[in-house]
């Protein structure tokens, strides 16, 4: 039975997080000695490396991570005993999902032809190497024979007493020459076999290339090497029976109990959690101070947003009245509020009062950089004065006219003289 092996990697080339694979037939089909069913067979995966056995023909490979199927890959297995995972996946890509088993077998045969051509080329290369080695050995043997014959001649010439030894050496040299001739003949034969293997390998490679080049689709018909298949799209069949859901006990790398027990996570375990910060930042979660307070923008930009204490203190109109203590300068009162001067003498001793009487000072800041003061003196008259702060300078106090007030001659500036 063919054995398929290979690696499962992420696009980053790191080993994919897959614990096991499930292999099944895409549909029920016959096989030698029986029937192939569509139930899953399971094989472990370690560090992205997988190895499994599978019958020749189409199959479905499911990748399982932590007990959950994460991907499904169609494959077509050829007839070779050992096949690479990439080869069986490439064979399945020859046809689309509508391809029936006979077309898948054609694709598997094409992959097998490619494997055969590669093996033949390898054998031819090995035979050529052996032939070259044998030829080299034959040449060395011939050289040794010549050296031996030369030594024998010298021995016979130098002494008649060595004639028998020289004769023996000559015999040895003749035997060596014969052996060298035999080795040379064998090397020639091996070289011839290597040439035949190379020719066969080229034919296999050309045939495989021809299968790939001549493969084409027209509608639901596949043409390979000039032969066109029948129409592969038939009427829609009935819905098949529901598959088995599987038992919890049959799954691997899952919690011991179902449903899993309650568990907790830390913030660092949540990958899409927004940043958490004390500061006021858009798109972040607010973190409270040790006092339980949170930071908000100094100036709110909408009716429904929180306002800071500083904004309220400087712009809102408080209910509490603050006492003006001692002899002070009213030019220094710029924050929104209500202030009371309860002594006439303090008003006289102070600076920039509209008159020398006790009274109520109101300060308004309707917008940034625009400050108003209003002073109402205490007594039966209740005179009112107003002024404003413009470009850092206070204007003069202006008395507000009342309905029942009267003027003296000195108050009329354009009286005829």
Asked if residue 41 and residue 140 are part of one domain, the reply reads no
Are 298 and 311 contacting, i.e. CB atoms less than 8 angstroms apart? Answer: yes
Asked if residue 116 and residue 47 are part of one domain, the reply reads no
d(CA 109, CA 411): 120
Structure token digits, residue 237: 């069949």
Q: Which of 172, 197, 228 is the last residue of a domain?
A: 228
In a domain, 169, yes or no: yes
d(CA 48, CA 9): 6
Structure token digits, residue 151: 């030594």
**307 by DSSP, 3-state: which?**
coil
Percent of the chain with pLDDT over 70: 74
The pLDDT confidence band at residue 200, using thresholds 50, 70 and 90, is confident
In a domain, 294, yes or no: no
Structure token digits, residue 395: 């204007």
Q: Which of 205, 228, 251 is the last residue of a domain?
A: 228
Asked if residue 175 and residue 76 are part of one domain, the reply reads no
Asked if residue 122 and residue 87 are part of one domain, the reply reads no
In a domain, 412, yes or no: no
C-alpha radius of gyration, the chain, whole number: 52
Asked if residue 153 and residue 89 are part of one domain, the reply reads no
Can you give the pLDDT at residue 3?
96
Are 334 and 355 contacting, i.e. CB atoms less than 8 angstroms apart? Answer: no
Can you give the pLDDT at residue 239?
86
**91 by DSSP, 3-state: which?**
helix
Structure token digits, residue 83: 């096949």
Asked if residue 224 and residue 119 are part of one domain, the reply reads yes
d(CA 243, CA 245): 6
Asked if residue 348 and residue 395 are part of one domain, the reply reads yes
d(CA 387, CA 400): 10
Query: Which of 101 and 205 is assigned the larger pLDDT?
Result: 205
Are 78 and 88 contacting, i.e. CB atoms less than 8 angstroms apart? Answer: yes
Boundaries of domain holding 45: 3-93
pLDDT for residue 365 is more than 70: yes
Can you give the pLDDT at residue 156?
41
- Beta-strand pair 359-367/337-341: antiparallel
- State the average pLDDT over residues 9-35: 92
Can you give the pLDDT at residue 215?
82
In a domain, 303, yes or no: no
Asked if residue 146 and residue 43 are part of one domain, the reply reads no
The CATH number of residue 89's host domain is 2.60.40.1120
pLDDT for residue 158 is more than 80: no
Can you give the pLDDT at residue 149?
47
Can you give the pLDDT at residue 166?
44
pLDDT tens column, 106-137: 566 656 665 665 566 566 566 566 656 655 66
Are 82 and 6 contacting, i.e. CB atoms less than 8 angstroms apart? Answer: no
Can you give the pLDDT at residue 232?
79
In a domain, 237, yes or no: no
Q: Provide the 8-state DSSP code for 15.
A: B
In a domain, 144, yes or no: yes
d(CA 110, CA 79): 10
Asked if residue 203 and residue 113 are part of one domain, the reply reads yes
Query: Which of 246 and 334 is assigned the larger pLDDT?
Result: 334
**214 by DSSP, 3-state: which?**
coil
Structure token digits, residue 155: 């021995």
Mean pLDDT, the chain, integer:
80
d(CA 130, CA 194): 9
- Which of 122-136, 183-197, 204-218, 309-323 comes out lowest in average pLDDT? 122-136
Per mean pLDDT, which of 109-123, 205-219, 279-293 is the most reliable?
279-293
d(CA 39, CA 161): 91
Asked if residue 133 and residue 66 are part of one domain, the reply reads no
In a domain, 299, yes or no: no
In a domain, 7, yes or no: yes
pTM score, whole prediction: 0.30
Query: Which of 259 and 48 is assigned the larger pLDDT?
Result: 48
Q: Which of 68, 93, 118 is the last residue of a domain?
A: 93
**In which residue are the tokens 């689309």 written?**
96
Say if residue 65 is exposed, middle or buried (CB neighbours under 10 Å; 0-12, 13-18, 19+): middle
- Which of 201-205, 328-332, 371-375 comes out lowest in average pLDDT? 201-205
Asked if residue 68 and residue 12 are part of one domain, the reply reads yes
What is the phi/psi pair of residue 203, to 5°? -65, -45
Can you give the pLDDT at residue 162?
46
Helices (H) and strands (E) in the chain, counts: 5, 21
Asked if residue 220 and residue 113 are part of one domain, the reply reads yes
In the beta sheet, which residues pair with residue 44? 20
């Amino acid at each position: 039975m063919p054995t398929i092996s290979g690696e499962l990697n992420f696009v980053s080339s790191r080993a994919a997080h897959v614990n096991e694979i499930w292999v099944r037939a895409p549909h029920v089909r016959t096989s030698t000695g029986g029937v192939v069913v569509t139930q899953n067979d399971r094989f472990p995966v370690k560090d992205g490396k997988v190895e499994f056995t599978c019958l020749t023909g189409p199959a479905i490979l499911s990748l399982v991570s932590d007990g959950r199927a994460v991907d499904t890959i169609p494959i077509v297995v050829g007839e070779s005993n050992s096949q690479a995972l990439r080869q069986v996946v490439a064979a399945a890509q020859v046809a689309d999902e509508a391809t029936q088993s006979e077309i898948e077998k054609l694709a598997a045969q094409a992959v097998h032809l490619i494997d055969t051509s590669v093996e033949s080329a390898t054998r031819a290369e090995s035979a050529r190497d052996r032939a070259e080695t044998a030829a080299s050995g034959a040449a060395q043997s011939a050289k040794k024979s010549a050296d031996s014959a030369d030594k024998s001649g010298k021995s016979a010439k130098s002494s008649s007493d060595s004639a028998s030894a020289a004769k023996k050496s000559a015999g040895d040299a003749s035997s060596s020459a014969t052996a060298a001739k035999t080795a040379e003949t064998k090397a020639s034969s091996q070289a011839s076999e290597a040439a035949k293997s190379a020719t066969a390998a080229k034919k296999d490679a050309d045939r495989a290339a021809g299968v790939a080049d001549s493969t084409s689709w027209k509608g639901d018909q596949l043409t390979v090497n000039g032969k066109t298949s029948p129409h592969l799209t038939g009427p829609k069949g009935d819905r098949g029976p529901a598959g088995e859901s599987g038992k919890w006990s049959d799954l691997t790398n899952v919690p011991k109990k179902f449903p899993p027990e309650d568990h907790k996570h830390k913030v660092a375990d949540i990958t899409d959690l927004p940043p958490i910060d004390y500061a006021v930042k858009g798109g972040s979660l607010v973190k409270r101070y040790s006092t339980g307070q949170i930071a908000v923008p100094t100036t709110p930009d909408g009716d429904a947003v929180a306002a800071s204490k500083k904004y309220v203190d400087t712009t809102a109109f408080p209910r509490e009245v603050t006492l003006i203590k001692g002899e002070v300068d009213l030019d220094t009162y710029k924050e929104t509020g209500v202030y009371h001067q309860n002594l006439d003498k303090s008003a006289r001793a102070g600076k920039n009062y509209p008159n020398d009487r006790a009274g109520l000072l109101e300060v308004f800041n309707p917008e940034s950089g625009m400050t108003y003061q209003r002073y109402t003196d205490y007594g039966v008259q209740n005179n009112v004065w107003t002024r404003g702060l413009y470009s850092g300078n206070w204007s003069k106090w202006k008395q507000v006219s009342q309905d029942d007030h009267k003027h003296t001659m000195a108050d009329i500036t354009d009286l005829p003289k």
